[in-house]
Chain A
């Protein structure tokens, strides 16, 4: 295990690793061990917002069995959770609470936006009272479309997230936000304004799309 200065991601030549593996010698890096440990025991936060939550619950039950991925421990407190599954409609009244809960989760934390509502407002997009996507305020790692997405879709999102965790590097320029001292750890909680949430989005995580006609 070569632990060169700032070179955790290239500590072992991949081809050499495969070659050694064929001979029955397994090499790994601290980074791989670390990522393997994290991706194999993601603890989701226990909260559901609307109909999509029913599918999320179904995913954790025996038939779909989220426990296969080490993620059956739904925590009722943000302090103990590292995955937020935004499952359902985020109304503008609920959005500040969701953002505050996200802020209270311990790093590293991940977000899966589940369902049409959570990613875009869904069937209520034209309404006045539903947030048009939770990614306006917090960084979302995996979006799942569907109304509601089937449990298989949530499992797929889960595997995508695991892949994403597996590829994160401990050091270097493209290390994730939570390992970067300068990156912000707080995401401003919106407040109820006269007509809408204020601010309407967090410019650090979401840019207002330009409509080209």
Chain B
């Protein structure tokens, strides 16, 4: 068996351990320094999550009203659709039948959503 040093990966292994040491040594030194000189002094205020000076009130897991999903759908229909319709119109004459069909399915999906929202009365301003 040839000696390990003649392996083509030997220099790579050395580099790997060098890189590892390069990353770990400062971390180790910092840990050692903190351990030797700087005593940790945690307390409830310091460990608090919010850090703008005010105490946090209530729960961060607040629930939004599910009614807002309607806005999301309407937004999709009117905004995202426009983004796709414009390039569709520009490239229309050069499109293959398959591409046209795919696009029509996409539009149909959104139109369904519109019809549904319309039927639900979302579009009427109160």
Contacts and interface: CB of A to CB of B under 8 A. Distances in A.
Given A178-B38, A179-B39, A181-B39, A103 B45 contact: yes
Interface in A134-148: none
Contacts of A101: 51, 53
Given A185-B46, A186-B46, A107 B41 contact: yes
Nearest to A186: B43
B83 to A, nearest CB: 35
Contacts of A77: 51
A103 B46 contact: yes
A118 interface: no
A101 B55 CA distance: 11
A178 B46 CA distance: 14
B76 to A, nearest CB: 35
Nearest to A100: B53
A170 B53 contact: no
B51 A186 contact: no
Contacts of B43: 103, 185-186
Interface string A96-124: 01101101100100000000000000000
Contacts of A180: 39
Most central of B42, B43, B51, B53 by chain A CB within 10 Å: B53
A180 B45 CA distance: 20
A79 interface: yes
Interface in B19-59: 37-39, 41-46, 48, 51, 53-55
Contacts of B45: 100, 103-104, 186, 189
B46 A179 contact: no
A181 B42 CA distance: 12
Interface of B: 37-39, 41-46, 48, 51, 53-55
